[in-house]
Amino acid sequence: MSRISIIGAGAWGTALSIVLAGRGHAVRLWVYENDLYQRLLRTRENDVFLPGFHLPDNVVPSNALGDALDSAEIVLTVTPSHVCRTVYRQMLDHLRPDMLFVSATKGLEADTLMRMSEVICNVAGERFTPRLAVLSGPTFAREIARGAPAAVVIASADPGLARHLQAEFSGPTLRLYASSDMTGVELGGSLKNIIAIGAGVCDGLNLGSNALAALITRGLAEITRLATACGAEASTLGGLAGLGDLVLTCTGTLSRNRTLGVELAKGRSLAEIQAGTPTVAEGVKTTSAAIRLAAQRRVEMPITEQMDAMLHHGRSPRQAIRTLMERSLKSEF
């Protein structure tokens, strides 16, 4: 069994601590918020991000990065994408070349358009080249925490590392598939959040199942276009980290990004929605980054463009959908 440090105690980080502790690993869970950390010590429950679940005895909460990383063999980061670089800079003096690194964060860095694995390599590379993998797939934290079966992808340019982590993390309720396509796995997990906002708009406007099915299918098409333009394998986008995660996030009621779209369709403002929840809908920041990345790669992404216009430029949800429907006609493939 391994000593695992999970950096980030949101819903996903907390759920991973529960399932990995269940495999017998010694888990340290770094909690950013000091008040939440104090309550976790007393109650063993993350009452902000994952209420209703008890942390196993072999999960040790920590509020200090040095303490959380002490003696770690595997460092699993589950922070919001916009703080990934900052957190890794704060961790840098505590990192060792013998550590194995896993990113389970879905998103793109706004300024650089880097994927999270690229951010980690960029920061840790100041001292050493990290052995790195990424974890993604169709998962809701609450279902993982309660032990419902799920399957995800672990991807690394190092096949031996992917196989090792696959064996360490897999168990009766969580099955990992190995991949070498880090680009496809990360972009699939990031870009699907944009489409999920659109799916929420469809539901919020009561546009029906036909519209939702069309949005998911055409959303997958544009995700695949951009991902392959960035070097991903098309087959990855048809797998768990692409199609699987897209379907879950677009249809599941636990999806934060879908819920955001539903609320926008009801006429609420983005600022109002975000102010009312402690959780992060990664699709909001990812949309702007994806627009710029698509422009760099000269890839057409009409759904993403309309989501960006709706989120950041005042277009109404109904007008965004109408613009998509009235685009010039073309062949499907």
Rounded CA separation 68/30 (Å) = 6
Rounded CA separation 277/67 (Å) = 29
Rounded CA separation 194/191 (Å) = 6
Q: Beta strand 100-103 with 74-77: parallel, antiparallel or unpaired? A: parallel
Rounded CA separation 232/187 (Å) = 8
Buried b (16+ CB within 10 A) or exposed e, 210-241: ebbeebbebbbbbbbbbbbebebbeebbebbb
Rounded CA separation 178/153 (Å) = 6
Q: Beta strand 131-136 with 150-155: parallel, antiparallel or unpaired? A: antiparallel
Q: Any idea which residues carry the catalytic annotation? A: 192
